[in-house]
Structure 1
Amino acid sequence: MNAKIVHISDLHISPYRKSWSPEVFYRGIEQINDLRPDVVIVTGDLTDNGLVREYEEVSSLLEKIEAPVVPVPGNHDARNLGWMTFEDVFGDRYRVERVSADLYVVGLDSSEPDVDYGQLGRERQEWLEETLRRIPGGACKCIAMHHHLLPVPGAGRERNVLVDAGEMINLCIKYGVDLVLCGHRHVPFAAKVEDTVVVNAGTFSATKLRGYSRNSFNVIEFSESTVSVNLYEITTERKLELARYKPVVREGEYRLVRVKGIADILRESA
């Protein structure tokens, strides 16, 4: 399989507040278009407060991306009845996108109205199970949601991890999910649980940056021999490797085997 996914998150766009940097946003969009991805996945917090005017602004701005865009809502998008506005502007909050015969993206709404924590919930678990059953075993299965599935280093005191993260991880293992894309904590990270790679994106254009982190996005590139997870810093234009995997097919199921992970990268930089 050959494919390129751009993963962005936490835009926090608002015409009312200085919650985002238009300059960084436009610069990031130029960099994304230069990469010519097959799909751009946006894992939530597109808006800052879920207001109609914010959604209108976001919808207009995302049209500048020259690739198919798959957005899912975050906790900020669910504020002020924003979960309803999301559906009016972007369509279903739960969706399946067939990027190619070998790559399926399942979008989930992990938010709850007017609170910061997230959860999948029993009904959404049932929907996810049924959806994953229908995806061919030889295809790469990617889930996109806002709330982080695993605690993220460098993000401060842990809070707001997905309430039913255990059930979610179990579903990923049971149905052979290869990739989970998350946001929420404004810190990039990649780790592997069993056969599932979990990737967090930093913030694409928000002004709320942790420590010395920079606005960034992730690029996941699939080839026949390698799957690489790379971090692109927008303002510095630096490219940093987060992880690398080898794709294999076991008993008809697509799998990612770790070649290089965050522990190796930290040792190299020590």
Structure 2
Amino acid sequence: MLIVQLSDPHVRPEGALYQGVVDSNAQFAGAIAHVNALDPRPDLVLLSGDLVDHGQDDEYAMLARMLEPLEVPVLAIPGNHDEREAFRRAFAGKPWLPAEGPIDYAVGDHGVVRIVALDVTLPGLHHGVVSEEAAAWLDEVLTAEPARPTMVMMHQPPFATGIPYMDPYSCREGQRLAEVVARHPQVERILCGHVHRFMQLRFGGTILCTAPSTTTAIALQLRGDARPASYIEPPAMLLHHWREGRGLVSHFVPVGTFPGPYPFA
């Protein structure tokens, strides 16, 4: 099973630039074209939050137009730049979308790997939290299929990255999440977005990774006094490949065309 993870496209209304600098829509369109060109064709695309930049209906209308050419089924969660009810209107009719409350759901009909979406966003705030209610819901959902390989998707990562201008906006109560996940060894990955960078660590007895953005890369600055900064690096995505008997391998994949192929390896 092949699962693409795209994150933080920050779609804008037509003609508007992200932060007045980057054509995030063109970057996202390029990522969608890249997914459609993959061989073999992926089974599923995950969108791990910050789908639009300001949570506005015209941005979600643009997002819907941009997703039309995608030839692969999509599952999505909101990020801190999304607006939950506008998000719900944008994906109205999707069988995985809950009618009210957080955008929490579990889907297992696209292949062997089950996807559990955990909405840790707090409307109007940039940090997230794993509430007691969310942890109990996740524990119940994971208990229902203990033998099924599973990926948990959320937006804000529940750990300190070391980037001083990002960590105040992480997901709080990460230990609560880690305690739940540790009880369920079928969880192969926890997938996050938010930080516009690829990061990986052990968490709750499994592997947690964050996806790069299709728009900009937040600067990796680990000095405590570092000032906020970003770069226009090549957009990228993650490709998660499950095979029976081997498990899950996650690949970092730059989006675009590059010199090659050359006849060596």
| TM-score using structure 1 length | 0.78
Aligned CA-pair RMSD? 2.3
For residues 166 and 105 of structure 2, what CA distance do their matches in structure 1 show? 32
Report the 3-state secondary structure (helix = DSSP H, G, I; strand = E; otherwise coil) of the residue aligned with 2:69.
coil
Aligned to 1:96: 106
Pick one of 22, 36, 42 that aligns with 1:33: 36
Gaps of 5+ in 1: 239-270
Aligned to 1:52: 57
Change (3 A) 1:213 1:156: farther
For residues 119 and 190 of structure 2, what CA distance do their matches in structure 1 show? 13
Task: Report how far residue 178 of structure 1 moved.
Answer: 1.8
Task: Report how far residue 192 of structure 1 moved.
Answer: 2.4
Q: Deviations over 1:161-216 (max 9, x none)?
A: 21111101111111222211100010112222353111110111358673474311
Aligned residue identity for 2:197: V
Q: Which runs of 4+ in 1 moved over 4 A?
A: 153-157, 206-209
Aligned residue identity for 1:218: L
Aligned to 2:137: 127
Question: Do 1:178 and 1:195's aligned partners in 2 also have CA atoms closer than 8 Å?
Answer: no
Residues 1:83 and 2:103 aligned together: no
Task: Report how far residue 99 of structure 1 moved.
Answer: 3.9
Change (3 A) 1:178 1:47: same
Question: Do 2:44 and 2:110's aligned partners in 1 also have CA atoms closer than 8 Å?
Answer: no
Task: Report how far residue 153 of structure 1 moved.
Answer: 6.0
Gaps of 5+ in 2: 92-96, 220-229, 260-265
Aligned to 1:216: 236
* Sequence identity percentage: 24
Q: How do residues 36-185 of structure 1 correspond to structure 2 at under 5 angstroms? A: 36-77=41-82, 82-90=83-91, 91-92=97-98, 93-100=103-110, 102-135=112-145, 137-152=146-161, 158-176=167-185, 177-185=187-195
* Structure with more of its chain in strand, by fraction: 1
For residues 206 and 258 of structure 2, what CA distance do their matches in structure 1 show? 29
For residues 170 and 163 of structure 1, what CA distance do their matches in structure 2 show? 14
Report the 3-state secondary structure (helix = DSSP H, G, I; strand = E; otherwise coil) of the residue aligned with 2:171.
coil
